[in-house]
Chain A
Amino acid sequence: MDKLFKRRWWKILTIVLLVYTIIAGLLAEVPRLAILNETIRVLHFHVPMWFGMIILLTFSVVYAIRYLNKPKAVYDMYTVAFAHAGVVFGMLGILSGALWANFTWGSPWSGDPKQNGAAIALLIYFAYFILRNSLEDEQQRAKISAVYNIFAFAALIPLLFILPRLTDSLHPGNGGNPGFNAYDLDSNLRMVFYPAVVGWTLLGGWLASLMIRTKIIKHKLYELEENDVRANAFSAAQPEPRPLERSADTER
């Protein structure tokens, strides 16, 4: 994945897709729906936050598994960076959802199971970061947090996907509401929505990639510093050359 990080094509694609999302999201035709009115446009911004979060957290857990398989420090960096990006998307998703809900469902927090599930998912990953901070040894930190990451992801799936379907929910597609298809059937919306998901997710990946590259640089600097220290210690151990020998050299 390292090679991919430095390529430019997908970053340009991100920018293009997001600019398209913003322009088309605001200017394109949208179905006229009750209560929602124009705010249906928020669909292209709020929902991709969730898709993005799930995709980024999936990458995080994949690298956690890879780390347990083969303990390379790089894999641990990937795990943390993707988890960070996923959590940022999650927080933005909850905030944007609360703002949207305030105007359409009546209050920012309606105790909707998907809202609650999302909040708890974020709590689980915050606990992940706290766990990492409390472990000193680097390798142990990587291993234990990888285990928790996998465990937390496994706990996440029922939270976000199964629970909301079982209960009454205000979100479309859960608890007796018509599924997303009722909105998505409108091909106009679909034309902006799918590129939006891709664009926002790529942005999340871009942010994660920057974090990973920074960590690798920091790691490299630390290594170089260690080598310096070792080299200095080594040269200090050598006895100083005697003045006689040095002048003999310069004379020649």
Chain B
Amino acid sequence: MLLHEIKWLLKKEMILEWRQRYALNGILLYVVSAVFICYLSFNLQQGQLNVVTWNALFWIIMLFVAFNAISKSFLQERYGRQIYYYTLTSPQAVILSKMLYNLLLMLLLAMICFVFYAIVLGNPVQNLWLFGGNLLLGAGGFSVTLTMISGIASKASNSSSLMAILGFPVMVPILLMVIRVSKNAIDGLAVSVSYDEVLVLLAVNVMVGTVAYILFPFLWRS
């Protein structure tokens, strides 16, 4: 039953998004502009960017992309519609479907971002599999935490700035881990070196997801 609800809600989100493509286009434009601005500011030719800078910049752009993309999940729902869903489906289905949708969205955006980033600023990544896996875990972590934060912030009046305030500190552990694994992937180190961090990322994803799953029904009721 729960799985069915999740599938239905997920499909609904995707169809809604595809009809207007508002969020998708907005974020895509954001990604392209951000990468381009970085390119201009660093005043370099392709492939001359310092590896550490490349890595850090990529994940900073991803962070802001995540904030922009996921803040829309709760903040743009109209009030009446929320009540409609409340009567139809369970809160767990709502939060899980939103997290899943945001995960897919983040993955898509991450891949586009990476491709564009690589074209404009060069691709020093040596271990693409690890980098890709890291992208997946990072997108998951961002999606899970920010969806929950977006849910919390949507209940308050000054939602958009509140989301940034609430979200930034909580994102830092995930960000730190992801940047470290990403650096390892770029340097082409063996996967075993990053083992600890990957485990922590996995654990954080699971833990935050579980906590969000348990706590969301309390948010939903108000």
Contact = CB atoms under 8 A, between A and B. Distances in A.
Q: Are chains A and B touching directly in their complex (CB below 8 angstroms)?
A: yes
A124 B171 CA distance: 10
Contacts of B170: 124, 151-152, 155
B162 A134 contact: yes
B169 A123 contact: yes
Contact of B162 (A123, A131, A146): A131
A139 B145 CA distance: 24
Contacts of A151: 148-149, 152, 170, 208, 211-212, 215
B84 interface: no
Contacts, number: 82
B158 A134 contact: yes
Contact of B173 (A123, A135, A158): A158
Contacts of B204: 158
Interface string A127-168: 100110011100110011011101110110011001100100
Contacts of B215: 68, 147, 150-151
Contact of B168 (A68, A123, A131, A146): A123
Contacts of A159: 172-173
A120 interface: yes
Interface of A: 68, 120-121, 123-124, 127, 130-131, 134-136, 139-140, 143-144, 146-148, 150-152, 154-155, 158-159, 162-163, 166
Interface of B: 145, 148-149, 152-153, 155-158, 162, 165-166, 168-170, 172-173, 176-177, 196-197, 200, 203-204, 207-208, 211-212, 215, 218-219, 221-222
